[in-house]
Amino acid sequence: SGGAKLIDGKAIAAEIRTEIKHDVESMKRIVPGLATVLVGERTDSSTYVRMKIKACKECSMNSIHRSLPDTASEEEVLQAVEELNRDESVHGILVQLPLPSHINEERILSSVSIEKDVDGFHVVNIGKLAMKGRTPLFVPCTPRGCVELLKRSGVQIAGKEVVVIGRSNIVGLPVSMLLIHENATVTIAHSRTADLPGVVRRADIVIAAVGRSEMVKGDWVKPGCIIIDVGINSKPDSSKKSGYRLVGDVDFEECRKIASMITPVPGGVGPMTIAMLLRNCVDAAMRKEREVNE
Ligand code: NDP
């Protein structure tokens, strides 16, 4: 039917998991281990943690899980992280966000050893990502997944006009910094941007990380542009048993007619986030193994 080529995140993530499994099996002394910390029982968070543990198994990695009740104190969460910091079988620590509101998120994230900060949210890692000529130990997973999707789809990033919609610490800001390092010309748009459609229309590459169902319309995007849709939003849909379906921040049906490449939701950026988490963790374990050998 013509229209944009789909960027198949599910297939690309599977390819990356195969590479990871291969790396894990080639390691002689160390089995990479990922620790997950879940505070409380939010169903979405529990699902994400379960998916991460399952992905570890598939890649022949170890996983360790710590569950705390949502009544846990900040000190108790800190203590769990400290134990995992000391545990030599753990190469990556993932604290599932969001944390209950009585816990100071920055304090917890900063307590994760920067050598084990596989989420890349430690202020030192983000700080290095923001600076020229510094190399962070870890790059946040969803942003790294976006860039990896572009590269593995053969998209040249250098010199391109990129518009990132969203400036969160988790997605918008770090993906913008990564793309600057890839030599793109980056515009960061947000809720106070004037004439957002006009700004988005300039983009050769659009990264949408807003959290608003199907906000980016077909007449917002430049013909032939490439669209990476990070959004995961549920939209009421009476034809589904659950009563809803997942949609992105981009109006897929409209934009696929205008763009040259686009990620679907689900099956685009989503699967990449977990693949990149495992990649970060195995990279950490491989660094450890090299240290041991030296
Ligand atoms: P946040 O809510 O933290 O940030 C949203 C950003 O969008 C903010 O910078 C906000 O601007 C901006 N924004 C909100 N409304 C508008 C608007 N009307 N016009 C322009 N900009 C707007 O969200 P996250 O970054 O955490 O997540 C974004 C989306 O990505 C969500 O749908 C989330 O579910 C999804 N997500 C997907 C992941 C994956 O694995 N695929 C991983 C993480 C997130 P301002 O700063 O001015 O408030």
Question: CA-to-CA distance for 152 and 147, rounded, in angstroms?
Answer: 9
Task: Enter the pTM of the model.
Answer: 0.96
Q: Which residues of 188-210 are buried (b: 16+ CB within 10 A; e: fewer)?
A: bbeeebeebeebbbebbbbbbbb
What is the mean pLDDT of the segment spanning 100-120? 96
Q: What is the pLDDT of residue 294?
A: 76
Segment 196-237, tens digit of pLDDT: 999 999 999 999 999 999 999 999 999 999 999 999 999 999
The mean of the pLDDT values for the chain is: 96
Question: Is 288 a residue of the active site?
Answer: no
Atom of ligand 1 nearest to the CA of 274: 40
Choosing from 190, 212, 272 the residue with most ligand 1 atoms within 8 A of its CB, the one to mutate for a pocket test is 190
Domain with CATH 3.40.50.10860 in the chain: 29-115
- Torsion sign, CA atoms 188, 191, 193, 198: positive
Q: Which CATH architecture has domain 29-115?
A: 3-Layer(aba) Sandwich (3.40)
- Write phi, then psi, for 239 (nearest 5 degrees): -80, -10
pLDDT > 70 fraction of the chain, expressed in percent and rounded: 99
Q: What is the pLDDT of residue 269?
A: 98
Question: CA-to-CA distance for 11 and 87, rounded, in angstroms?
Answer: 34
Residue nearest atom 3 in ligand 1 by C-alpha distance: 168
Q: How far is the CA of 83 from the centre of ligand 1 (A)?
A: 33
What is the mean pLDDT of the segment spanning 247-272? 98
Question: CA-to-CA distance for 76 and 92, rounded, in angstroms?
Answer: 19
CA distance readout (Å), 89 to 49, 86, 166, 218, 268: 19, 9, 36, 49, 32
Question: Is 96 a residue of the active site?
Answer: yes
Question: CA-to-CA distance for 176 and 181, rounded, in angstroms?
Answer: 9
Is residue 1 over pLDDT 60? no
Atom of ligand 1 nearest to the CA of 272: 40
Q: How far is the CA of 163 from the centre of ligand 1 (A)?
A: 14
Query: 8, 23, 96, 251: which one is catalytic?
Result: 96
Q: How far is the CA of 40 from the centre of ligand 1 (A)?
A: 23
Domain with CATH 3.40.50.720 in the chain: 140-269
Is residue 10 over pLDDT 90? yes
Is residue 90 over pLDDT 90? yes
Kindly give the residue spans of alpha helices, DSSP state H, lying in the chain. 9-26, 43-58, 74-86, 105-111, 123-130, 141-152, 172-181, 196-200, 252-255, 269-293
Confidence band of 240 (pLDDT split at 50, 70, 90): very high
What is the mean pLDDT of the segment spanning 124-133? 95
Q: What is the pLDDT of residue 292?
A: 82
Q: How far is the CA of 167 from the centre of ligand 1 (A)?
A: 7
Segment 153-198, tens digit of pLDDT: 999 999 999 999 999 999 999 999 999 999 999 999 999 999 999 9
Q: How far is the CA of 259 from the centre of ligand 1 (A)?
A: 22
Q: Which CATH architecture has domain 140-269?
A: 3-Layer(aba) Sandwich (3.40)
Question: Is 10 a residue of the active site?
Answer: no
What is the mean pLDDT of the segment spanning 122-133? 95
- Strand partners of residue 38: 67
Query: 8, 23, 117, 119: which one is catalytic?
Result: 119
Residues with CB under 6 A from ligand 1: 142, 165-168, 170-172, 189-193, 196, 209-212, 230-233, 269-270, 273
